[in-house]
């Protein structure tokens, strides 16, 4: 395993071995985990794995999904270009669920971010603040606007943007702050909104992984000027692809609604255009699936939270394992990812790559998280392209490279370990087996180190 494994590949890896399992096992009491003994042999060395059963598969399919899908199919109204019965219903439902005034459904989370940047008129010459520990879409949409990405270092304890470091990187060019609620764990919105208000800078919340996340009992996506979600196949609310923009601002809502529909005027006339736009529309099939999947979102989310709390209580007792901390203001974690940090000093200096490999062999799917986005080779190539050089001077680009150093994030990318959200849909015994596998590896880590070197 390497930390280049994406969430989507990880999802396929988990689901392939778990097809049809679903939520057959609830979060029930389990017998005590068997104690490891000196005679135990690691699975990677030929021993018996702690776990042989698959974790729950994803997505879960119920009768209501199939029924609604067939309704759309037979209606022949598959596109929501003008009316969009299911898309409109979903927008109303999702806005009401989150406590926002307006929702605009889009084709994907990237489209939602892209439309939001356009609504704020982010463009050439602007700077956008973002974290370096996030999915590449957060960066790509900034580059699509020919704006400069300004990375803020990570808080390793939470895996979130270090909000205390934002103000030092604000310049007259700063047009937008785009925090990410990574893995469903809310970023420090008190501090982010305070500095944004002080400098009169709008905030776009990238909540693509945080469907039920809350900050001080308010749903993330509703605290900034705009908030964006993804409903891609790996997400906790899933329609294969899909996205949404949330806002309480009528002007931003009108712009985003028009922009995602080729810039059509509010009246949705066939050939009446209010602005330049793009085709970022959700389909009726996607919206119909979301309307049914959302009926199970709360139940699934509560189960994830209960299992995550139980897992954390066990992992905190293992030296060298640090579950991601939540800020005091984070009243709910959406748990798209269960994130922790691995400290090899407590595992006989066993490299993380070998730890992940051993954990996989014990029947526990895992991943090493993101690589540093600020160090991606394509970023330097893009900034050195003809288009960017026509906007920015050599000095602008050289200064940006120095400003974008994120040493804490470099360390986070070396320590991170992820478990996926479907694993939290299992039983308490499943959580116990995750902890047991880690304890087993720690106990015999010396053997692995000798074999590795």
How confident is the prediction along the chain (453 residues), in pLDDT tens digits per residue? 344 445 455 455 544 444 333 333 333 334 444 444 544 799 999 999 999 999 999 999 999 999 999 999 999 999 998 778 999 999 999 999 999 999 999 999 999 999 999 999 999 999 999 999 999 999 999 999 999 999 999 999 999 999 999 999 999 999 999 999 999 999 999 999 999 999 999 999 999 999 999 999 999 999 999 999 999 999 999 999 999 999 999 999 999 999 999 999 876 566 789 999 999 999 999 999 999 999 999 999 999 999 999 999 999 999 999 999 999 999 999 999 999 999 999 999 999 999 999 999 999 999 999 999 999 999 999 999 999 999 999 999 999 999 999 999 999 999 999 999 999 999 999 999 999 999 999 999 999 988 655
Fold of 63-295+374-402: 3.40.640
Q: What would the CATH number be for the domain defined by 7-27+38-60+298-370+412-452?
A: 3.90.1150.10
In the chain, CATH 3.40.640.10 covers 63-295+374-402
Q: Cα 33–38–43 angle (5° rounding)?
A: 70
Catalogue the E-assigned strands of 180-238: 204-206, 214-215, 218-219, 226-230
Reading phi first (left if > 0) and then psi (alpha if -120 to 50, else beta), residue 264 is in beta
CA distance 181 to 6: 17
What span, in angstroms and rounded, lies between the C-alpha atoms of 135 and 374? 12
CATH 3.90.1150.10 spans which residues of the chain? 7-27+38-60+298-370+412-452
- Helices then strands, counting H and E runs in the chain, come out as 16, 15
- Bridge pairing between strands 416-420 and 337-342: antiparallel
Give the residue from 416, 435, 360, 369 showing the smallest Cα distance to 54.
360
Contact 245, 256 (CB under 8 A): yes
Distant-in-sequence, close-in-space partners of 23: CB < 8 Å, separation ≥ 6: 56, 60, 300, 303, 425
**Cα 354 from chain centroid (whole Å):** 25
């Amino acid at each position: 395993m390497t930390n280049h494994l994406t969430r989507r590949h990880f999802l396929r890896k988990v689901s392939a071995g778990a097809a049809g399992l679903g939520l057959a096992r609830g979060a029930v009491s389990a017998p005590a985990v068997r104690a490891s003994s000196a005679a135990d042999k690691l699975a990677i060395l030929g021993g018996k794995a702690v776990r042989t059963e698959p974790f729950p598969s994803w997505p879960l399919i119920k009768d209501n999904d199939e029924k609604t899908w067939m309704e759309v199919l037979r209606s022949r109204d598959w596109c929501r270009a003008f009316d969009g019965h299911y898309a409109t219903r979903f927008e109303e439902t999702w806005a009401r669920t989150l406590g926002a005034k307006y929702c605009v459904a889009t084709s994907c989370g990237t489209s939602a971010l892209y439309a939001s940047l356009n609504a704020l008129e982010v463009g050439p010459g602007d700077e956008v603040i973002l974290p370096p520990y996030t999915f590449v879409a957060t960066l790509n949409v900034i580059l699509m606007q020919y704006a400069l990405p300004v990375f803020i270092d990570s808080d390793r304890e939470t895996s979130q943007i270090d909000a205390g470091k934002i103000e030092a990187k604000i310049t007259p060019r700063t047009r937008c702050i785009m925090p990410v609620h990574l893995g469903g764990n809310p970023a420090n919105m008190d501090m982010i909104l305070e500095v944004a208000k002080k400098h009169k800078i709008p905030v776009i919340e990238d909540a693509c992984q945080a469907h039920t996340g809350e900050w001080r009992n308010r749903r993330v996506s509703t605290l900034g000027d705009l908030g964006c979600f993804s409903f891609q196949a790996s997400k906790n609310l899933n329609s294969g692809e899909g996205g949404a923009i949330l806002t309480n601002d009528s002007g931003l809502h009108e712009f985003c609604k028009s922009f995602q529909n080729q810039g059509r005027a509010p009246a949705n006339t066939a050939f009446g255009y209010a602005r330049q736009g793009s085709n970022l529309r959700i389909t009726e099939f996607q919206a119909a699936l979301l309307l049914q999947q959302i009926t199970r979102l709360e139940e699934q989310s509560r189960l994830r939270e209960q299992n995550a709390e139980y897992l954390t209580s066990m992992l905190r007792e293992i030296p060298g394992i640090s579950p991601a901390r939540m800020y005091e203001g984070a009243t709910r974690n959406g748990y798209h990812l269960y994130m922790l940090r691995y400290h090899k000093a407590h595992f006989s200096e066993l490299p993380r790559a070998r730890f992940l490999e051993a954990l996989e062999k014990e029947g526990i799917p895992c991943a090493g998280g993101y690589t540093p986005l600020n160090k991606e080779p394509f970023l330097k190539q893009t900034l050195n392209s003809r288009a960017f050089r026509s906007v920015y001077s050599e000095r602008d680009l050289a200064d940006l490279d120095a400003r974008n150093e994120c040493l804490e994030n470099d360390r986070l990318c070396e320590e991170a370990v992820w478990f996926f959200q479907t694993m939290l849909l299992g039983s308490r015994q499943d959580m116990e087996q995750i902890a047991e596998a880690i304890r087993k590896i720690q106990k015999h880590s010396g053997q692995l180190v000798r074999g590795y070197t």
